Amino acid sequence: IKEDDDWVVVDKPGSIPVHPCGRYRHNSITFILAKEHGLKTVHTVHRLDRLTSGVLIFSKSAAKAREMEQVIKAREVEKVYVCRVVGEFPEGEVVCEESIEVISCKIGLCVVDPKGKDCKTTFKR
C-alpha cells in the first residue's frame, strides 16, 4: 500500500501468515517482502492471524517498531474489522465482553473461557 523511509504498509490477504511458522517457511509476508522487494530487515509492529486479511504495518528500524508498539499498547490506535454475515445484522451496537483463552497459537484457535484474557468487542452495522 505504502512505503517510506521508516514504514512499510501491506494489504495482507487471508491464508498467508505474517512471518514463517509451522509449515509456512517461504509463503509468508516477511519472506515475500525480503525476496521480492528487497526488504530483508522489517520489524513486525503488530500481526494478523493467518486467516485474517487486512492492513499490516512494518517498520524499517527496531526503534520505530518500539514506538508504534507503545502507541498500540496505550490503545491510542483503533483497530477496525469488517466482516460479512449471513442474514441481516441488527441495528445499533452489539457488545461482546467475554474472556478469550488461546487453545492453539499454531492454528489460531481461541475459545471463550473465564480463565482467558479479558476482551471487549463492539460490533455495529
Q: Which of 4, 49, 113, 118 is catalytic?
A: 49
- Residue spans of beta strands (DSSP E) within 14-125: 43-44, 54-59, 93-104, 109-112, 117-124
Is residue 49 part of the annotated active site? The answer reads yes
C-alpha 75: how far from chain center? 15
E strand or H helix at 7: strand 7-12
Question: Catalytic amino acids?
Answer: 49
